[in-house]
Amino acid sequence: MAIKERPRPGGRSARVQQAVHDAVRELQEARAREALTVPQIAEIAGVTPSTIYRRWGNLSELLADVSLERLHPDEAPADTGTLAGDLCRWGEQYLEEMTSVPGRQALDDIMASKDASRRECCCRYSESIMQGLRERALTRGESVPSLTAMMDGIVAPMTYRLLYDPASATVENFERWVDTTLSSLASR
């Protein structure tokens, strides 16, 4: 269950990974996902199919790997001046992404993967975003909940609803989770 190291940047392994990921994304835009095959991906990436099988095992795991890349947070969420504002801004964008067709597909790919370290990676991504927002709020002098309280009170119900009850994965509910988590802080 260890989280795999990313290949060394610039090395051959990293170049292969980049080329294969790019080929998957290119094909995903051009055709229905059910039509993707490893030989096609290999051809576009300029590698042999056996390189792909050796490294990813099968098509499902390759798709899960590309999807995990998609979920990697690439920039700090907007600074709105308050922790509540930052959280709501982030939640709105995240829910918009995760309820889109490609977002849902990315989540499904990761849930279908046999490699549990991908899910743990998602948890670490969310922790790193929450921690970034906490630290920004601390710098402003706000009182902030613990990282655990933010994960349990905000990220967990959001993810639970996205997976199990998508009709309830709404911005209104997200605002309620933020409110409950921040107000339980005030009452302690």
Contacts to a copy of itself by CB under 8 A: 1, 108, 111-112, 114, 116, 119-120, 122-123, 151-153, 155-157, 159-161, 163-166, 177, 180, 184, 187
Among residues 23 and 110, whose Cβ is nearest to a copy of itself? 110
- For 72-116, the DSSP string reads S--SPPP--SSHHHHHHHHHHHHHHHHTSHHHHHHHHHHHH-S-T
CA distance 138 to 142: 5
Among residues 139 and 187, whose Cβ is nearest to a copy of itself? 187
- 49-56 helix and 12-30 helix, angle to the nearest 10 degrees: 100
| Minimum gap (Å) between residue 181 Cβ and a copy of itself | 10
| 151 touches 127 (CB < 8 A) | yes
CB proximity list for 40: less than 8 A, separation 6 or greater: 27
| Minimum gap (Å) between residue 90 Cβ and a copy of itself | 17
Copy the structure tokens of residue 115.
């490699």
Among residues 84 and 156, whose Cβ is nearest to a copy of itself? 156
Among residues 55 and 104, whose Cβ is nearest to a copy of itself? 104
Longest dimension (CA), the chain: 60
Owner of token pair 């849902």:
104
Among residues 86 and 115, whose Cβ is nearest to a copy of itself? 115
| Minimum gap (Å) between residue 143 Cβ and a copy of itself | 16
| Minimum gap (Å) between residue 80 Cβ and a copy of itself | 24
| Minimum gap (Å) between residue 155 Cβ and a copy of itself | 7
